[in-house]
Amino acid sequence: MHRGAVAHILWLVLLVACVLAVCACGGGAKPLSEEYGSLSPGTYVADEFQPALSFEVGKGWELSELQQKPFFEVLREYQGGDYFVAISFNNPPARVSDPRNPNKLVPAPKDWVSWYQEHPYLETSEPQPTSVGGVEGRRFSTVASNLPEDYYSEDCLGMGVPLWPLLQGHHWCAEEEGFDRTIVLDGVEDETVIINVWSNTEASSEKVLPEGKEVLDTVGWEDA
């Protein structure tokens, strides 16, 4: 065989090997732990979340200031910040707020979907089957409702129902306004993951829910 042909074949082999190496390393995905604020369009790996996951965002998304190991959130604002869509990933905690006593903590439930449905101050829709990253789960809408007149949670500044504590004194809350699409995934590497797609206004749901779904459709569990 002519030396030029041999060289050309070797070059193709090396090119294919390089492409496969890039794919094997996540295709240039960026560690989310090294990011802050605005995110450039591309693929990111939430390397401090358990289990680790990758996802892709387009233009306009940013990382919430509340990023922590058991929780992280990306969001996108519209019309100069008038409304937004946020996607939050939670590792369920060991303790939750007592539904009847918002300033008291009790052991976390084993069945999270039932806990949401039976919460006296949450209104939920009928759970529907869904999947994220190939992992089956259930989704439903959630909103704070039927609060007594004297109901007040210090952690939610009196504007919602506390569900569970986060680090650094923060609390995950369900609010009376806006909308919240909750997704409970069981069996992600034997872990439960709770995902929330939410916004500060229900009127924007028709626009922002599809954009949130676009991001969730790109999720891949790194070791699943």
Span 175-205, pLDDT tens digits: 888 889 999 998 888 889 999 999 887 766 7
CA dist list (Å): 129 to 125, 138, 141: 12, 5, 13
Map tokens 């999270």 to a residue.
112
Q: Distance between CA 179 and CA 97 in Å, rounded?
A: 21
Give kind and range of the element (H or E) at residue 83. strand 83-90
Nearest CA to 73 out of 39, 107, 112, 103 is that of 39
pLDDT (mean) for 16-41: 64
**Beta-carbon contacts of residue 64 (< 8 Å; ≥ 6 apart):** 72, 73, 74, 75, 86, 88
- pTM, two decimals, is 0.82
Ramachandran quadrant class, 73 (left: phi over 0; alpha: psi -120 to 50; beta: rest): beta
pLDDT at 17 over 50: no
Does residue 150 or residue 6 have the better pLDDT? 150
